Amino acid sequence: MGKTFSFVAGTVIGAAAGAIIGILVAPRSGAETRAMAADMANDAWDNARDMYEQGAEQARSALNDFGPMVDAKTDELRAKVDLARERMDQLRETLNEAVSGGTIHPAMDVQVEFASDDAAQADAAPEA
């Protein structure tokens, strides 16, 4: 940060010194130079204000476009969540009917088989 600060400080000091020397050796009178400097400052101010207004308008426009897009995505996500909930309810009802009908017994019909590493590798290897 020290080098950057030194560079910026040197640039600012150099610009100020150049402006002072330019005013001192200017071929115009003081009144003409001040009028010209005032005109340049007014032009710079007007340009800055115009750029600010243009940027503010673009930001407002982007914000106005962003709101409906977020609302649309939110509605889409809500619809997907509702669909998933409905599907889960259907699956829950089907499972409850199967359990109450005696078709399946929870946790009794589930069989977990453990395969040894050798058997898993044999299953994965293609047969010749």
pLDDT digits 0-9 by tens, 9-36: 999 999 988 888 887 777 777 788 788 8
pLDDT score of 76: 93
DSSP per-residue string spanning 24-58: HT-SS-HHHHHHHHHHHHHHHHHHHHHHHHHHHHH
Q: How far apart are CA 116 and CA 104, in angstroms?
A: 29
Instruction: Using a cut of 0.85, tell me whether the model's pTM lies above it.
Output: no
Q: How far apart are CA 79 and CA 76, in angstroms?
A: 5
| pLDDT classification of 78: cutoffs 50, 70, 90 | very high
Residues contacting residue 26 through CB under 8 Å, at least 6 positions apart: 33
| pLDDT classification of 116: cutoffs 50, 70, 90 | low
| pLDDT classification of 119: cutoffs 50, 70, 90 | low
